């Protein structure tokens, strides 16, 4: 997949933009398992409410992301796969 960079601000070449509400972030951090994490993540992606949401914007075609290996990493597969 290449090098991972963590920086503040925006990136000119983002693959995906994911925005998660603070309340949802806390629920995700408290999840006791990846299964529960997935359940919470998909719940707020599919049925957002006031102050509780997950928004995903693919900035590159999903086929390009899959070719680069995103589908082989369980967390990335969950995060990005929900937007298909």
Ordered mean pLDDT values, 10 residues apiece, the chain (84 residues):
67 81 93 93 93 89 82 78 65
Q: Model-level pTM?
A: 0.70
pLDDT of residue 72: 80
pLDDT of residue 60: 84
C-alpha 12/C-alpha 16 separation (Å) is 11
- Tokens linked to 46: 């599919």
DSSP 52: B
């Amino acid at each position: 997949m290449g090098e991972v960079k963590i920086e503040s601000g925006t990136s000119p070449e983002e693959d995906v933009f994911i925005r998660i509400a603070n309340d949802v972030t806390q629920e995700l951090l408290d999840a006791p398992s990846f299964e529960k994490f997935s359940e919470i993540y998909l719940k707020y992606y599919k049925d957002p409410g006031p102050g509780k949401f997950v928004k995903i914007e693919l900035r590159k075609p999903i086929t390009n992301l899959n070719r680069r290996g995103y589908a082989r990493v369980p967390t990335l597969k969950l995060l990005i796969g929900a937007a298909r």
